[in-house]
Amino acid sequence: MQLRRDEAEPRVTTVIWVGGTSALARTYFDEVHPTVRDRLHIVVAAPALPSWTLPKVGVSFVALDLLDVKSVDSFFSRPELLDTYRTGPSVMIIGVRLSLVWAGSRQSTLAAHLGRLISRAAVAGCLGVVHISSVAVADHVVSQHNVSESAPLPALDAYHSDYDRFKRLSEVIVDDECTKANERAALSGETRMMVWTHLRISGIFSNDPACIQCTAVRNQAYISAYSSTCIDFNSSANVSHAITLLVERIVRVVTALPASADPSVPVECAANLDGRRVQRVYYYTRATTAPVPYGALVADYRSAHGIQYGVWLPEILYLGFVRCVQALCALCRWLALARSVAYLLAVSVADHTFDCSRFREDFPEMQAREESIRECFVRIRQRQEEALALSRADALSRSDTAKLG
């Protein structure tokens, strides 16, 4: 079913964000969307809507539960989606992941339903997919040193965790479904093909007060071992800008293809006109050109919060602590939580660095938008202080109203 487009409306790209209630999405709506809402309308597709998402200009909500096949199959025929669909192209952002603790049977269900959703998106006229993938596809438990997109990935049955395996499986599903959609389009004589890409990101520091990565460095603000392990981390604002650049590049690439384009030519080749390019995979994992040790990130947090007297402990103490906890978790392998803790600890003591040069070369405009990790921590602190001030003012206003009443 082709989604209705009212030609009387101004040209706006509709972006359907599957999983658009994440910590990353929260940063996107706070920091990036206000600057692009005149040209990007976001449809948040998720089971429920958190209070921070709406009301916002240029954002709407359509319920989608990827664990419910009826919800998936009916999504593109929902009246509320038709009502919010805008003139012009549409792109889907997919950010779906498993819980680190409670994976269970959800892996196979999510995988199957994700494929169904992408297939229906193609039929509905979606022009492209930005899949928010993860460095987990390289296997988190194994060390990585400046790994590039050309490096081979493990076989699906070789991963050490369901989380990593699912992220890799998601890439396979996106590739397969988008390829099938283009094959169907070619057979029917269509010349406009879908363009898709996987943006592999690392851990991010987000605006969400419950951000796990922010909590981890906050807990080390005053006393911590200086970890020399190099693990890529990024600002969620940087990643939000990267997603926007990819969405808008896909729109320009697809709409720039001539109507007479040969459908047998791979769209990424035909689309390399005038320097426009969307490659199949990008690593964008850090704000610095070279990797930095995790201890440097803690130092950035201390600096951003004016902490001058933080204590650094010998790294060997932390490594000893990790070994003790891992041994304890090994005795409780039957507990899902113990397995998850062991997984996180294994990730924390191994290097995980990636080569981001492909993304930087294809999107040189990112340099003007990129913030350092220290700048990220300063911005998040200011956001939290503003939210606290508003909360206190609101509480005072209600108290005064109650007294008058």
* pLDDT per position as a tens digit, 246-280: 999 999 888 775 544 444 444 444 444 445 689 99
pLDDT at 402: 62
How big is the CA angle at 125 (ends 124 and 129), to the nearest 5 degrees? 105
- Tokens encoding 303: 């600096």
Which range has the worst mean pLDDT, 2-6, 40-44, 55-59, 168-172?
2-6
Grade residue 97 by pLDDT with cuts at 50, 70 and 90.
Answer: confident
Indicate the burial class of 122 (C-beta count within 10 angstroms; 0-12, 13-18, 19 or more). buried
Which range has the worst mean pLDDT, 50-54, 55-59, 116-120, 277-281?
50-54
Query: 208-247: b or e for each residue (b if 16 or more CB lie within 10 Å)?
Result: beebebbebbeebeeebbbbebbbbbbbbbbbbbbbbbbb
For 269-358, where are the E strands, in sequence order?
Answer: 281-283, 311-313, 352-354
pLDDT at 210: 87
Grade residue 196 by pLDDT with cuts at 50, 70 and 90.
Answer: very high
pLDDT at 326: 77
Give the residue among 203, 204, 129, 215 at the shortest CA–CA distance from 171. Answer: 129
Q: How far apart (Å, rounded) are the C-alpha atoms in residues 175 and 198?
A: 9
Query: In this structure, is the dihedral angle defined by the CA atoms of residues 10, 59, 100 and 287, taken in order, positive or negative?
Result: positive
Q: pTM for the full model?
A: 0.89
Q: Look over the chain and give the mean of its residue pLDDT values, rounded to a whole number.
A: 84
* pLDDT per position as a tens digit, 202-231: 999 999 888 989 998 999 999 999 999 999
The total of other beta-carbon atoms located within 10 Å of residue 326's CB is: 15
* pLDDT per position as a tens digit, 17-26: 998 888 899 9
How big is the CA angle at 389 (ends 383 and 394), to the nearest 5 degrees? 125
Q: Give DSSP secondary structure letters for 133-162.
A: EEGGGG-TTS-EEEE-TTSPPPPGGG-SSH
For residues 176-182, average pLDDT: 94
pLDDT at 336: 66
Does residue 55 have a cis peptide bond before it, meaning omega lies within 30 degrees of 0?
Answer: yes
Strongest mean pLDDT among 9-23, 236-250, 330-344: 236-250
For residues 23-47, average pLDDT: 91
Whether 89 and 127 have beta carbons less than 8 Å apart is answered as: yes
Give the residue among 6, 2, 192, 194 at the shortest CA–CA distance from 87. Answer: 6
Length of the chain as a residue count: 405
Whether 135 and 203 have beta carbons less than 8 Å apart is answered as: no
Q: Indicate the angle between helix axes 373-404 and 294-304, nearest 10 degrees.
A: 40
* pLDDT per position as a tens digit, 130-154: 999 999 999 988 899 999 999 999 9
Q: How far apart (Å, rounded) are the C-alpha atoms in residues 330 and 326?
A: 6
DSSP 233: E
Domains present along the chain, CATH in parentheses = 13-210+232-291+353-372 (3.40.50.720)
* pLDDT per position as a tens digit, 292-333: 999 999 999 999 999 988 899 898 888 888 788 778 877 776
How big is the CA angle at 142 (ends 140 and 145), to the nearest 5 degrees? 95
Give the alpha-carbon dihedral of 368, 370, 374, 380, to 10 degrees: 110
Decide: helix, strand or coil at residue 348.
Answer: helix
